[in-house]
Amino acid sequence: MAENDFKNIKEVFEKAKRGDRESFSEIYEAYFKPVYRYVYLRIGNRAESDDLAQDIFINTLNSIDSASYDSSPLIYFYNVARKSISDWKRKRRRVMPSDENTGDYFNPGPGDADENLKGEEFDNLRETIKELSDDEQDAVIFKFVGNLSSEDTGSLLGISAHSARRLEARGLISIRDILKKQYEQQS
Amino acid sequence: MNSNLEQKKESAVDDAIKLKEAGKRLFYIIGKFPDYESEIREVFGIVAFIKENNAKIFVPKNILKTILSKMTAGSPIQATPLPKKEITQDIHASIAEDEDYGGEPPEIENNLMPGKWKIILPVVILAFIAGITLLRSDSKKKDEIINQHIGTSQNSDELKK
């Protein structure tokens, strides 16, 4: 985890909050990617993800306190992201059109047909994840995309680590069932 | 009954993931849960696919450039406001949503203009029609008076004769 690379995590955050560009860039490099990936997997729309991830990042940076530096800033980022997505969904109350394909979202190797195929498959998987409940989506993304422990996932969702593990398993089984149904309908 | 089976399946997959994280090999894990072999294999396949490919999601770098370009040393960071067009679209979207729930749409300047014209335009048209009708009735009266004058003068001429 990049956050371990910081010599003094508190100092970096304090400097960034005061407008120090170098510290800000450091934090951006460490935390923006996981936040962005979470937002994109939950929303599935590029333009909306860009705006929302930017707002989440800045709001987190402005609101984070010293207690959160000492534990895990990433958990704090995810917590703000989770609430922001919940608010966003409530405000919109409508389904945003997802990007039809990964396009420039998914970075395949140059001219690699296999990678392009993987891009389509990943896009299909992303759409499948969106069919899960909000908590199942969060559990699967935090665990297998964000590489959080079930304890951390549980603390983010306000449940025990055991319940978080069950949620992760239920989410994965649901993804498997949906994909299997899709495959059977195609063949 | 059905939910009991689902719970057993969830429990098996949950335990299988734990064993995998503890470094156990696939054949060992499947040996522990032979009834759920296909589920475990496929779920592990999904996890491997997610882990392999999520890092390839393109994260735009222009966002950092945008924020940094707006940052001035010594001042707190602020979110870059959306372009005006997008904000207007958002307002209209939220109005449409409020209307779906039967709420009164919020009054904003742009939305008041068509409302005003809805009243003003029919009034102007009515006034225009009323004006034409009055003019026509006036001209009819004038014609009648003229005709009457012509008639009376003709009668008086005939009487004179």
pLDDT digits 0-9 by tens, B94-130: 333 333 333 333 333 344 444 556 677 778 888 888 8
pLDDT over 50 (residue A45): yes
Q: Are residues A82 and A140 in the same domain?
A: no
Q: Are residues A140 and A95 in the same domain?
A: no
**Minimum-distance CB partner of B79 among A28, A55, A104:** A55
Residue A186 placed within a domain: yes
Q: Are residues A50 and A138 in the same domain?
A: no
pLDDT-derived band at A183 (thresholds 50, 70, 90) equals confident
Q: Are residues A83 and A168 in the same domain?
A: no
Quote the pLDDT of residue B65.
80
pLDDT tens readout for residues B52-81: 888 878 888 788 887 777 766 555 666 554
How many C-beta atoms lie closer than 10 Å to residue A36's C-beta? 23
In chain B, beta strands by DSSP E: none
Q: pTM for this one?
A: 0.67
CATH number for the domain harbouring residue A52: 1.10.1740
**Percent of chain B residues past pLDDT 90, beyond the cut:** 27
Q: Are residues A170 and A89 in the same domain?
A: no
pLDDT tens readout for residues A56-70: 988 888 888 777 776
pLDDT tens readout for residues B23-49: 999 999 999 999 999 999 999 999 999
Q: What is the mean pLDDT of chain B?
A: 71
Nearest C-alpha of chain A: how many angstroms from B25?
A: 19
Average the pLDDT over each of A28-37, A95-104, A110-119 and give the range with the smallest value. Answer: A95-104
Of A99, A121, A145, the residue at which a domain comes to its end is A99
Residue A163 placed within a domain: yes
On whether any CB of chain B is under 8 Å from the CB of A92, the answer is yes
Q: Is the ipTM of this complex over 0.85?
A: no
How far is A52 from A100, CA to CA, in rounded Å? 20
Quote the pLDDT of residue B156.
59
Give the mean model confidence (pLDDT) for residues A132-147: 94
Residue A126 placed within a domain: no
CATH number for the domain harbouring residue A145: 1.10.10.10
How far is B76 from A15, CA to CA, in rounded Å? 10
Range with the largest mean pLDDT of A82-86, B92-96, B119-123, B131-135: A82-86
Q: Are residues A94 and A42 in the same domain?
A: yes
Write down the H helix ranges in chain A: 9-17, 21-27, 33-43, 46-63, 66-70, 73-92, 113-129, 134-144, 150-157, 161-186
pLDDT tens readout for residues B9-18: 999 999 999 9
Q: What token pair was written down for A123?
A: 């896009």
Give the mean model confidence (pLDDT) for residues B122-140: 80
Of A46, A80, A99, the residue at which a domain comes to its end is A99
Q: Report the number of distinct structural domains present in chain A.
A: 2
How many C-beta atoms lie closer than 10 Å to residue A35's C-beta? 24
Q: Are residues A6 and A93 in the same domain?
A: yes
Q: What token pair was written down for A45?
A: 């729309």
Structural domain containing residue A12: 1-99
Residue A123 placed within a domain: no
Determine the residue among B8, B58, B69 to mutate to test chain A binding: the one whose Cβ has the most chain A Cβ atoms within 10 Å: B58
The full DSSP string for A30-59 is: IIIHHHHHHHHHHH--HHHHHHHHHHHHHH
Q: Mark which residues 22-81 of A lie under 8 Å from B by CB.
A: 24-25, 28, 32-33, 36-37, 40-41, 50-51, 53-55, 57-59, 61-62
Of A99, A123, A151, the residue at which a domain comes to its end is A99
Q: Are residues A79 and A156 in the same domain?
A: no
Q: Are residues A95 and A140 in the same domain?
A: no
Residue A25 placed within a domain: yes
Top pLDDT among A145 and A69 is at A145
Quote the pLDDT of residue A103.
47
Quote the pLDDT of residue B85.
38
Q: Are residues A20 and A62 in the same domain?
A: yes
Q: Are residues A38 and A91 in the same domain?
A: yes
Q: What is the mean pLDDT of chain A?
A: 83
Contact A105 B50 (CB under 8 A): no
Q: Are residues A138 and A92 in the same domain?
A: no
**Minimum-distance CB partner of A19 among B14, B75, B97:** B75
